[in-house]
Amino acid sequence: MAGVFDIELHEGDSINQDDSDDDIVESREDEYNHDTNVNTILESDNLERVQLSEQNLNAGQEKTGPQDFELCKILGKGGYGKVFQVKKVTGKDKGSIFAMKVLRKASIIRNQKDTAHTKAERNILEAVKHPFIVNLMYAFQTGGKLYLILEYLCGGELFTYLDREGIFLEDTACFYLSEIILALQHLHNQGIIYRDLKPENILLDGEGHVKLTDFGLCKEHIEEGTVTHTFCGTIEYMAPEILTRSGHGKAVDWWSLGALMFDMLTGMPPFTGDDRRKTIEKILRGKLSLPLFLTLDAKDLIRKLLKRQVSHRLGSGPEDAEQIMNHNFFKHINWQDVISRKLEPPFKPSLKSADDTSQFDEQFTATVPVDSPVESTLSESANMIFQGFTYVAPSVLEEMCAQPRVVSARSPRKGLSCTGFSGSLHGLSSRSPDGHLRAASHFHHNRHHVVGSNNMEDTEMTDIGPLLNF
Q: Which residues carry out catalysis?
A: 196
- Pairing verdict, β 145-151 and 97-104: antiparallel
Query: What are the Cα distances from residue 274, in Å, to 195, 244, 396, 419?
Result: 23, 20, 49, 7
55 — phi, psi (to 5°)? -70, -40
What is the rounded CA–CA span in Å between residue 373 and residue 359? 28
Between helix 170-189 and helix 251-266 the angle, nearest 10°, is: 160
